[in-house]
Amino acid sequence: MTVARQRLGRRAEDLAAARLEAAGWSILERNFRTRAGELDLIARNRDTVVFVEVKAGRLGARRGPERPALAVGRRKQLQIRRMARAWIGTGATPIAADGYRFDVIGVSYDAAGGVAAYEHLRAAF
């Protein structure tokens, strides 16, 4: 992954975390690393722990789907579930958590680097 793509992804994660917090969510963890990979955001929405995968892209880019949120395929979903189990196994789950959910947030940037679209798919898988 190039440095430019890493920066784009980090900007998208920062934006997603800020918007979730503004909506009253609590960010429990960012960039939780496991052997299987990294969970972008782990948040709490009321009594639900939400594992959030953040995808970023540029409008008009030739790679991947036009909507970054749709870039989470079956294989990635299984990987995220494995990583979520690893996080749950650490005992970090809040006591009052009622359940778990998997969301995907897609952020598209225009040619000038501005946010062109923000899409939050709740219970994406």
pLDDT the model gives residue 57: 92
**3-state class of 64 per DSSP?**
coil
Task: State the CATH number of the domain containing residue 40.
Answer: 3.40.1350.10
Instruction: Please check whether residue 45 is in contact with residue 34, taking contact to mean a CB–CB distance below 8 angstroms.
Output: no
The tokens describing 33, both together, are 């690393």
pLDDT the model gives residue 5: 84
Task: Quickly tell me which residue has 């970090």 as its tokens.
Answer: 92
CA 63 to CA 13: how far, in whole Å?
20
Task: For residue 1, name the pLDDT band (cuts at 50, 70, 90).
Answer: low
Give the tens place of pLDDT for each residue, 12-58: 999 999 999 999 999 999 999 999 999 999 999 999 999 999 999 98
Q: How many domains does the chain have?
A: 1
Distance (Å) of CA 119 to CA 35, 38, 62, 108 = 28, 21, 20, 9
- Report yes or no on 71 lying in a domain: no
Domain holding 18, by residue range, is: 3-66+76-121
Task: For residue 92, name the pLDDT band (cuts at 50, 70, 90).
Answer: confident
The amino acid sitting at 26 is S
